[in-house]
Structure 1
Amino acid sequence: MSNTQKVVVVTGASQGIGGELVKAFREHGYGVIATARSIKPVDDPNVVTVAGDIGDRAVAKRVIAEGIARFGHIDTLVNNAGIFIAKPFTQYTEEDYAAVLNVNMNGFFHITQLAIAEMEKRSSGHVVQITTSLVDHAVAGVPSVLASLTKGGLNSATKSLAIEYAKAGIRANAVSPGIIKSPMHAVETHAALDALHPVGHMGEMSDIVNAVLYLDSAPFVTGEILHVDGGQSAGH
């Protein structure tokens, strides 16, 4: 595999935004390491799939190892895997708490450590988190404490990473979506979800994909939390 081909790791890559990110990066000529619990092998020699729980460090190690074995290096990591459980705060169970921390926090920590260690070898790299604009503006009727606890932490970690690794040639950014029209939202909920955005409608998965592609092509941008949320973070 050419050492000049750009290579990206995408977590939560089996469907929704993750699946669209894989397609878009391939269209731009990237080699892709795609991971998710239920992901299946594909015929494309420029896509490596690794099935497993991204919160498990052993799985994260396998993702990076298989990516390096196939492509020789990693340029970009997109931490897309995440889960959202909307419950009143006092109704969250210990299992809910553990599940959200496992994917949203452990799933970021392990693979990001391992990916940056590879990026340091080339003095070049980019890490992108997918977070949520609920961190900035909570919405009545959308209970989201666990999302804010975890995704808010990722926004802060993004800025810390950007500063820590700026002189090492490694950038860190985040995309902070509003509510995106994806398989996780049933069609019958769309009208109510549209109304939660100042522009009057949900975003499309392509909006998030385009934001990630922009950040990956913007070498002077680091430490940025890019809101792609139909105005949610600006006000209501």
Structure 2
Amino acid sequence: MSTSKVVIVTGASQGIGAETAKAFRAQGHRVVATARSIAPTVEADHVAVAGDIGEAATARRVVDAAIEHFGRVDTLVNNAGIFIAKPFTQYTAEDYAALLNVNLNGFFHITQYAIQAMQKHGSGHVVTVTTTLAEKASSHVPSVLAALTKGGLNAATRSLAIEYARAGIRANAVSPGVIKSPMHPVESHATLAGLHPVGRMGEMSDIVNAILYLDSAPFVTGEILHVDGGQSAGQ
């Protein structure tokens, strides 16, 4: 366990978050998982904390749980996110509030607390899941609120990387295309596959493997790693 990291994963009750938590545990790391609907548990290598990640109190409880049970925080995976595809004028105030709460507040609070913990031992890594639609808009997918929030996270990732580079703390992002996950019903897969130059949707393992790569790449920081079947290159 001398090489075991302590990894926090948000949005970890299902989909990419759950698969990411599973993959880190399979590598011998200890994981603190959080989501609204997750069942609270405490195991030798896994702690689950239920709560709204947009709330500062939840973020505080998650980081405190990592320190209480495992003594430190090495990696934070900001995976929690909401995506709502609507024409811009049809977004409601509730849509706007929901995306800001999870996508921005859910990044801000826990990243602050995690970096504070990382600074105590002079190393760490923050990796955030964003979206290629933040940089390459598509006429097939109206996504202004995703661009507004996730695009901000790409910019924040670069800024964090520079601010904390000499403190031994890295910051990177994974920018996915459309991934086969519980977010997308099966009947939509054929249409969504056509949005990618490679002609198919991505798998959750594609994103998990990108996160694992970035976490194991000590000379990589400030990177927005596109895992999008060529979407970011063009159509």
State TM-score, norm by structure 2.
Answer: 0.98
Within-5 A mapping of 1:26-175: 26-42=25-41, 44-175=43-174
Q: For each residue in 1:182-230, what CA deviation from the matched residue of structure 2 results, as whole angstroms up to 9, or x when unmatched? A: 1111111100000000000000000000000000000000000000000
Aligned residue for 1:233, secondary structure, equals helix
Q: Do the aligned residues in 2 keep the contact of 1:124 with 1:168 (CA within 8 Å)?
A: yes
Q: 2:192 — aligned with what?
A: 193
Alpha-carbon distance change, 146 to 182 in structure 1, aligned in 2, over 3 angstroms: same
Q: Aligned partners of 1:38, 1:3: CA distance in 2, in Å?
A: 32
* Matching residue's letter, 1:27: A
Q: Do the aligned residues in 2 keep the contact of 1:162 with 1:172 (CA within 8 Å)?
A: yes
Q: How high is the sequence identity, in percent, across the aligned residues?
A: 73
Q: For each residue in 1:23-62, what CA deviation from the matched residue of structure 2 results, as whole angstroms up to 9, or x when unmatched? A: 1000011100000000013464211100000000000000
Aligned residue for 2:89, secondary structure, equals helix
Q: 2:224 — aligned with what?
A: 225
Aligned structure 1 segments of 4 or more residues deviating by more than 3 angstroms:
41-44
* Matching residue's letter, 2:28: G
Q: Aligned partners of 1:3, 1:50: CA distance in 2, in Å?
A: 25
* Matching residue's letter, 2:11: G
Q: Aligned partners of 1:51, 1:219: CA distance in 2, in Å?
A: 31
Aligned residue for 1:100, secondary structure, equals helix
* Matching residue's letter, 2:216: S
Aligned residue for 2:231, secondary structure, equals coil
Q: How far apart are residue 3 of structure 1 and its match?
A: 6.4
Q: Do the aligned residues in 1 keep the contact of 2:41 with 2:49 (CA within 8 Å)?
A: no
Q: 2:14 — aligned with what?
A: 15
Alignment root-mean-square deviation, CA: 1.0
Q: Aligned partners of 1:4, 1:22: CA distance in 2, in Å?
A: 17
Q: Do the aligned residues in 1 keep the contact of 2:19 with 2:205 (CA within 8 Å)?
A: yes
* Matching residue's letter, 2:82: I
| Structure 2 unaligned spans of 5+ | none
Q: Aligned partners of 1:141, 1:177: CA distance in 2, in Å?
A: 16
| Structure 1 unaligned spans of 5+ | none
Aligned residue for 2:128, secondary structure, equals strand
Q: Aligned partners of 2:53, 2:187: CA distance in 1, in Å?
A: 31
* Matching residue's letter, 1:96: D
* Matching residue's letter, 2:205: S
